[in-house]
Amino acid sequence: MVEQTVKIVNPSGLHARPAAMFVQTAGKFTSSIWIRKGEKKINAKSIMGLMSLAIAKGTEIIIGAEGEDEAKAVSELIELITSGFGESD
């Protein structure tokens, strides 16, 4: 199991477009992947679950994965978030 904390940096947080990009990227991996925000933990491959967290800019979340490609999955998703999903201020 791999987990890493990351802060959301894109201006609009995880609204529809970045959430869709995140879920699409997570879907490439065979590992179970989740996001934890506070006490809530959701399947990172679920767009509805991700949208339900209402993740805004500056929010810290934990991304975790368990499975054969867990390290690559977490690494790629962290990179996507830290790149700001291609958005700028």
Picking from 22, 39, 33, 21, the residue whose alpha carbon sits closest to that of residue 69 is 33
Rounded to 10 deg, the angle between the 16-26 and 70-82 helix axes is 160
Q: Is 36 assigned a catalytic role?
A: no
Q: Which is the catalytic residue, given 15, 41, 57, 72?
A: 15
Residues tagged active-site: 15
